[in-house]
Structure 1
Amino acid sequence: MSVLSGKIVIVATKNKGKVKEFAHAFATLGFEVRSMFDYPDLPEIVEDGTTFSQNAFKKAKIVADALGVPVLADDSGLCVDRLDGEPGVYSARYAGEQATDADNNAKLLNALEQLQLGEDTEQPLLSPARFVCSLALYDPSSHQTWTAEGTVEGWITTTPSGNSGFGYDPLFYLPTEQKTMADLTIEQKQSISHRGAALRKLIAQLQLEV
């Protein structure tokens, strides 16, 4: 029997974009997704891990121990080659603890454009990059953890495009699609994104039937 046999998945996040994507993914399996918005009295979580996987496990365990039920957590972000992998685990707070998506995107573009000063180029694609997603599902009754990771390769573009998605999606250009991540429908994004890839791996481990 799967650890997620109750047809409810609790996801340790307050990111509305992630909640939407998880809800869409698990709806096809007949699961209802709940998030930290549904449990306002949970303890504060300090994401001080040096890797996505460390942060994902910490979030899953803290919330699972508090609620006494299995909890799924995601930690994900953008790694840009020309910035030596930044913003990485600091993606959500790249421009500060209270940063908005617009703040983070502006800082990212400024950092890359500063590197291009003096270069004789009008290249709209600034650097290869990848989105990374680490998932951790922790069961407090058995102390078991299931993990999965997914990535998607792309480029950072100087021209934001698209109204879907969230975070750095408008700047993340996919050469295979000739669109940014924010130009994709949620179905298209799920089929190729880092989070979609990680979820498919996790679901396969849990032996859930579509």
Structure 2
Amino acid sequence: MTRRLGSGSLVIATHNTGKLKEISALLAPHGLKCLSAGSLGLPEPAETGTSFVENALIKARASTEASGLPALADDSGLSVDALDGRPGVYTADWAERQWFEGEPGRDWFMAMGKVEGMLQAKGPNVARDGAFHCVLAIAWPDGETAVYEGVARGRLTWPPRGELGFGYDPVFIAEGMDRTYAEIEPEEKHRISHRADAFAKLVAEQFGTGG
């Protein structure tokens, strides 16, 4: 039987307020108080893994070791079929400004533009299929871990549309939809997203009645 989370505090291993808000909303029905690593002043570990699973575990373990509380980390990203799965684990890195691109920080419009530029370079008939991936990793202070993986297939559009969401949401349209992630209300996104898929698996195992 997989170990289960009890009630109480859970560190969400992120400094991203948008991601904290989304994860907190998904966990709200289960009585957990979510604290962000950022609000606790925890350092951000170097994400040296070559897969979403490796990076999620790095972040979860760092937060649980620093806080003494159970920690949940999310590593998620966009993979574009025509780009051989890129940006993949480097999804956030593509948004990092280089020294000649202005003040340090992440520029998601720039990142979306990089993806679009690479697609357009492949010609007008390039396939625009892709997927958002999400891995959720839970780590406990004693070293035990659990991992859950989710995926949402879809296609890329241009130009970006919508003011909701974050990251690459304005250019991603999920299968069966005609609006981008950034054009739908958070509650609707929570039901269909890659993170929702991973959370459904986490909730079934962590809070369900099965063994």
Which TM-score applies when normalising by structure 2?
0.88
Q: What CA distance in whole angstroms lies between the structure 1 residues aligned with 2:95 and 2:40?
A: 28
- Whether the 8 Å contact between 2:152 and 2:192 is mirrored in structure 1 is yes
> What is the SS of the residue equivalent to 2:199?
helix
Give the whole-Å Cα distance in 1 for the aligned partners of 2:5 and 2:207.
Answer: 10
Give the deviation of 1:68 after TM superposition.
Answer: 1.4
Which runs of 5 or more residues in structure 1 are unaligned? none
Q: Which moved more, 1:20-29 or 1:145-154?
A: 20-29
1:28 to 2:35 alignment: no
* Pairing 1:1-210 to 2, within 5 Å after superposition: 3-40=4-41, 42-96=42-96, 98-116=105-123, 119=124, 127-141=128-142, 143-207=143-207
Residue aligned with 1:85, SS: coil
Q: What amino acid does structure 2 have at the position aligned with 1:156?
A: L
For 1:94, give the aligned amino acid: W
Normalised by the length of structure 1, the TM-score is 0.89
Secondary structure at the aligned position of 2:149 is classed as: strand
Structure 2 residues not aligned, in runs of 5+: 98-104
* Aligned-partner residue type, residue 138 of structure 1: A
What is the SS of the residue equivalent to 2:91? helix
Residue 153 of structure 1: SS of its match in structure 2?
strand
Question: Is the alpha carbon distance of 1:208 and 1:69 closer, same or farther for their aligned partners in structure 2, counting shifts above 3 Å?
Answer: farther
- For 1:33, the aligned partner's letter is C
SS of 1:28's equivalent in the other structure is: helix
2:140 counterpart letter in structure 1: D
Which segment drifts farther, 92-101 or 102-111? 92-101
Whether the 8 Å contact between 1:151 and 1:193 is mirrored in structure 2 is: yes
Amino acid at match of 1:206: Q
Aligned residues: 201
For residue 177 of structure 1, what is the amino acid of its counterpart? M
Rounded to whole Å, the distance in 1 between the matches of 2:110 and 2:158 is 15
Name the CA distance, whole Å, in 2 between partners of 1:108 and 1:78.
Answer: 10
Question: Whole-Å Cα distance in 2 between the matches of residues 99 and 70 of structure 1?
Answer: 28
Taking the aligned partners of 1:2 and 1:153, their CA distance within structure 2 comes to 30
Q: Secondary structure at the match of 1:135?
A: strand
- Fraction of identical pairs, as percent: 38
RMSD of Structure 2 on Structure 1 (CA): 1.9
Return the alpha-carbon distance in structure 1 between the equivalents of residues 162 and 112 of structure 2: 14
| Residues 164 and 185, structure 2, Cα contact 8 Å, conserved in 1 | yes
What whole-Å deviation, never above 9, does each CA across 1:87-135 have from its counterpart, x for those lacking one?
Answer: 000101114363311121111111111112xx4x5xxx85100000001
The Cα shift of 1:62 comes to 1.1
Q: Does the aligned pair in 2 maintain the 1:181–1:189 contact within 8 Å?
A: yes
Q: Distance in 1 between matches of 2:154 and 2:50?
A: 23
Q: In the superposition, relative to structure 1, how do residues 203 and 175 fare at CA in structure 2: closer, same or farther (>3 Å)? A: closer
**Cα shift at 1:3:** 4.2
How far apart are 1:201 and its partner, in Å?
0.6
Of 165-174 and 88-97, deviating more is 88-97
